[in-house]
Amino acid sequence: MSNKITVLRDTQPDVLLDATQWEKLSGDPHTVNLNAYQSEDGSKLMGTWICTPGKWAVNYTKWEYCDFREGYCILTPEGGEPIHLKAGDIFVVEPGFQGTWEVVETVRKYFVFA
């Protein structure tokens, strides 16, 4: 077994504009993905996500760790109560989450998909 460490301070992230595949429901949201790391098999991804206000229908097939650095959004599970998230919040979205993701104030978050 080899131990690998990837130090991200010197990486140049892959920049993807409006790469979100979710269905837009309202507003004119735009996204910037700064993908700083992807595993060799493509199953793990981490970076920074920036998004302007708007709303999507979402259906998670992967686990996501989120660390909100700026902004405010509302995640609403299908048939559930809205969850209000703001700068400073850290949370996990489990595979199988379905509902809506609404960016109310431009969001900047660190993310890890696995």
The structure's pTM equals 0.85
Nearest residue to 113 (alpha-carbon basis) of 93, 97, 98, 99: 93
In a structure prediction context, what are the per-residue pLDDT tens digits for the chain, which is 114 residues long?
A: 456 777 777 677 778 888 888 899 999 999 999 988 888 898 999 999 999 999 999 999 999 999 999 999 999 999 999 999 999 999 999 999 999 999 999 999 999 999
CB 75 within 8 A of CB 100: yes
